[in-house]
Each structure stands twice: as C-alpha cells, then as structure tokens.
Amino acid sequence: MKKQTAMALAAVFAMSVAGTALAAPANPFVDVPAKHWAYDSINKLAQAGVVSGYGDGTYKGDKTLTRYEVATIVAKAMANSDKADAAAQKEIEALKAEFGTELNNLGVRVDGLEKKIDNVKISGIIRARYDANDVNDVSTMKQKLRTRLYIKGQINDQWAYGARLENVQNMRTTSTTDDTDATVDENKTDLNWAYVQGKIGAFDVTAGRFDVTPAYGTVLDDTVDGINVGFGGKLKVNLFAGKENWSEKASGNVEDRNNTYIASLAYPFSKKLTAKAAYFNVNFEADGVDNANIYEVGADYQFNKTLNLRGVYLKNTADDVDGEDTGYVAQLTYKGATPANPGSFGIWAAYRNQEAGVNLSTTYDVDYYALGMGGKGYEVGVTYAPMKNAKWTTSYTDLKSTVNSDLDGEWLRTQVEFYF
C-alpha cells in the first residue's frame, strides 16, 4: 500500500479518534514536519495510540506497508469506532471487510466485539513444587501443582479491575512416621484477588482483595481486604486500612480476621542505597491478646550489578508478647534468574532470628506455626531460567524455634514455574 493510500487511511482514522485527542505534542515524529499536509491527522493518531512509529522516533510515511501492518491499524481504529462520525464508521466497516482475513489471523473478531480489543488481558503462572521436610522429628514429602490466572480489565483511562484465580492440586502427601498416604485434597478454584485500581488526583488507590508486601515483606507478605493509598515522588508512601486474611487461612473461620492498619515508606538515598520502613497495627480481637505494634526498618545496598546486601530490624512494642518481640534478618544475593532471559541465574544466603511477636505472615515460606511462630537459622537457595518464560528454584532452610528450644525444622524445596 503506497504513501497516498496510507495517508488517506490516516485521515479517516484521525476522524474516528479525534474526540480522544488531548493537547498534541509539538512534533510526534522527527520525519513529519509541522507544515506537512497530514501532520494534524498523524499527530492525532499518535496521541490516540493508533500509530506509534518506529523505535528511532520516525514515522516512515514513504515506507510500503504490508497488509498485516494496515490490518493492525484498522484493528486499533475499530477499538475507537464508537467515537467516529457516520462517514468514518462507514469507512471502517469497509476496511473490516477488506482486511477480514488478516484481522482474524491477528485474533481480532469482526462480529461485534471490536470495542473490546485489548480491554481484558489474561496472564498466568503454573508452578510444580516438591517439598521434603523434617519438622519436629516428623518427615513429610509433598508435591503440589498450582495454577494462577491473572485478569486485568481496563475500566477507563484511569481505572482498571484486577483479579486472580487460583487452583492448587495436592499430588502427594506422605509421612515416614506412619508410612501411610494422606488423603489427597483437591482444592477448588478460588477467586482470591478482586480489586479496582486507579488514580484520584495525586493518589494511587487500590481497593478490594489483593496482596500487600510492606517494606521487605519480612513481617507481612499476604492477602488483605481493604484500601491502599499510595503517593509521593522520590519518597514513596503507602497507607493501608482493612482486614488481614492469614488468620482465616489458619483457622478456617472468617470471624477470626483482624483489623489491620499499615504505613510503609521507601526512599532511595542513591542508586546503590535504598531504605524502607513499615509500621503495622493489628487488633487481634481476642480476650487477653494485646494489639500488635510492629516496626520494620531496613536497607539494601547494591554493590554492583550482581551483588546486593540487605539488613532488616523488627520490633513489636505491644505490652504482652512474652519477650518474643524482636527480629533480625540479613540476606546476601548474587545476580538473579529472570524468566525472560534464558540462562540467567542467581544464588542467595540469609540468616534470620525472627521471634513470634514480629511475624504476621512473612514472605519466608516455611511452617512457622510448627515452631510456635518464631524461628532462627539460615536459608540458602539458587534460581535458574532454563528457557524463556520459565524459572527453577531450589532452597534449603534450617530453623530452630525461638519459643521452644525443643522444636526445630529443616525444609528442602524445589520448584519450577512457567509464565504465560
């Protein structure tokens, strides 16, 4: 398709999206001068996202377009057809008929769903995990297959809807103490995220059910119900109010959930040094149990592109925590596996002394309940990306209880995740 035809198409598409254009940039493409006869139309197209040009900032109006390139532009114009006048809509209908085969091959439906193009996106992770654990002299082996589907739907230019569907299949659970197979628990599929997210003025707002990881996740990395408000420039601030979800998981009783308030900060002092802090107030709503008032303060230092050192201090200032009110964590990380980069890898080593009073639902994924909620010891691990969109992780953890010296555990875990 030659230059003249492409420019005529641009004029039609510009009419169809003219209502969406805001203040146009001074010059969207370096090879389209302001005095060019199609400048205004191309400008509107760029503003509306119908055309994006090339990576070097050029439009290349003299370049011959393939039918698939034109079909891509038609698909974007279809998504904005509700803003077009009658004449422009007639032209778009004709183009749909002309490029129907290419549109179908691109996955664009032409039977009435055009306005939903790119409105809803689905991604996912499937994880196969194997555990061989020895906790308090009880050995277990577990095999689980977990699937998560992430759904993102665009509500408007400022707001979106998010959700997560999760299914966990327990493939095997055996205990060497009695040499019997436990009953396989085929879990149902749960919608365990459901939230809206957008901006109100200078504030980023998330409301509904979603995950939070304040500071480094040492105290909490789990699902909550409520509202989170974030703001700031170099200093990032997040404020959360709502209900936590981990006590419900432990007890199975929704009435056990607790009021939770969180404030977290993050500030990069330099390209190498970043500090984070968080405050947690939890009303446990139980007789004889005081509220938790937990502080998490930490920093990580990036020595170079491959080596990072992190240190975290934890403190619970509540009156009655039986002396289990302090925590220390140090972790050294070398590189890291990136699923999009096959062959990438990383290793880490961590030491932690995390007493029961400063552990709500930590990012460290071991059975703290079996240790009385507090543990001290070390963890080592390795990650590797064997192919694109896949990551393999293996870790070993050895902890002793901070509550009862007779309790201890060893956790060996290996898992592979596939991203799609």
Res 322: pLDDT: 72
Q: Write out the two tokens for 108.
A: 């664009």
Contacts of 92 (CB under 8 A, 6+ apart): 12, 16, 74, 77, 78, 81, 84
For residue 217, the one-letter residue type is G
Looking at the structure, tell me whether residues 282 and 380 fall in a common domain.
yes
- Residue 394: give its domain's CATH number: 2.40.160.10
Task: Mark 293-312 as b/e (b = at least 16 C-beta within 10 Å).
Answer: bbbbbbbbebeeeeebebeb
Q: What is the mean pLDDT of each run of 10 residues along the chain (420 residues)?
A: 49 50 53 65 63 64 65 71 68 72 66 56 96 93 95 93 95 49 60 96 96 95 96 96 75 69 97 97 70 94 96 91 88 95 97 93 85 93 97 97 93 97
For residue 190, the one-letter residue type is D
Contacts of 1 (CB under 8 A, 6+ apart): 9, 64, 65, 67, 70
For residue 120, the one-letter residue type is V
Q: Please identify, among 62, 92, 116, the residue that sits at the C-terminal boundary of a domain.
A: 116
Distances (CA, A) of 407 to 174, 372, 397: 21, 8, 14
Looking at the structure, tell me whether residues 258 and 382 fall in a common domain.
yes
Looking at the structure, tell me whether residues 88 and 193 fall in a common domain.
no
Looking at the structure, tell me whether residues 292 and 312 fall in a common domain.
yes
Res 40: pLDDT: 66
Total of domains in the chain: 2
Q: Which domain holds residue 182?
A: 120-419
For residue 358, the one-letter residue type is V
Nearest Cα to Cα of residue 306 among 332, 334, 331: 334
Looking at the structure, tell me whether residues 62 and 197 fall in a common domain.
no
Contacts of 182 (CB under 8 A, 6+ apart): 173, 174, 175
**Could you tell me if 122 and 150 are in contact, meaning their C-beta atoms sit under 8 angstroms apart?**
yes
Looking at the structure, tell me whether residues 164 and 293 fall in a common domain.
yes
Looking at the structure, tell me whether residues 139 and 45 fall in a common domain.
no
Res 119: pLDDT: 82
Looking at the structure, tell me whether residues 231 and 335 fall in a common domain.
yes
CA distance 378 to 396: 8
Contacts of 87 (CB under 8 A, 6+ apart): 15
Looking at the structure, tell me whether residues 357 and 259 fall in a common domain.
yes
Res 12: pLDDT: 55
Phi, psi of 167 (to 5 degrees): -135, 130
Q: Please identify, among 116, 135, 161, the residue that sits at the C-terminal boundary of a domain.
A: 116
Nearest Cα to Cα of residue 142 among 414, 417, 416, 418: 414
Q: Please identify, among 100, 116, 132, the residue that sits at the C-terminal boundary of a domain.
A: 116
Looking at the structure, tell me whether residues 133 and 95 fall in a common domain.
no
Looking at the structure, tell me whether residues 7 and 70 fall in a common domain.
yes
Looking at the structure, tell me whether residues 110 and 193 fall in a common domain.
no
